[in-house]
Amino acid sequence: MDRISWNQYFMAQSHLLALRSTCTRLMVGATIVREKRIIAGGYNGSVSGSVHCIDEGCYVIDGHCVRTVHAEANALLQCAKFGVPTEGAEIYVTHFPCLQCCKQIIQAGIKTIYYAADYKNHPYALELFKDAGVETEKVELSAIALDTHFQEKEQYIKQLLEELQYQTNDDETYDALKAKANVLFDL
């Protein structure tokens, strides 16, 4: 069995963190790594103890949800809160950082940004990263590392099985397909 690469491993961590997001517009996760060790993680969500977007909707001003603290900022703040240095670290983010997060990442001394998806890549952010000597690299998460559509696939298989049950007279074939789906999806 082949192991996933370090980049795939840390990007998978970021995708797992994104699943904790409370923003309904975009789920983002970030993992800060130094010397192949995770030192912090964050996801986008409301200020601790405050109302969440999933509860009352996004609070949008000028096209941005102002209720949300971005994943990258939450990860950097976690380091600050616990006194963990970020100088020379790397960050793995599910989406290309916004301009404000770009500036925070540079100020924190992060040396490399790995991101899984382009997202409104601001030209000035790219310029700032280049000027600061911060490398950016796109690392798409392979389906092997983490299936972010598991729930949708599971629901789809359940629907297919229900439809098949009503349309088939072949109980043996149906039972075999259902057994296989139960093994794969723990239905």
CA–CA distance, 18 with 44 (Å, rounded to integer) = 7
Write the CB contacts of 113 (distance below 8 Å, at least 6 apart in sequence).
90, 91, 93, 97, 105, 129, 134, 135, 136, 137
Look at the alpha carbons of 54, 58, 63, 64 in this order and tell me if their dihedral is positive or negative: negative
DSSP of 118-153: --S--HHHHHHHHHHT-EEEE-PPPTTT--TTHHHH
Enclosing H/E stretch for 88:
none
117 phi and psi, to 5 degrees?
-135, 140
Token output for 27: 């789920």
**What distance in Å separates the CA atoms of residue 32 and residue 40, rounded to the nearest whole number?**
5
Backbone angles phi, psi at 56, to 5 degrees: -130, 5
List active site positions: 72
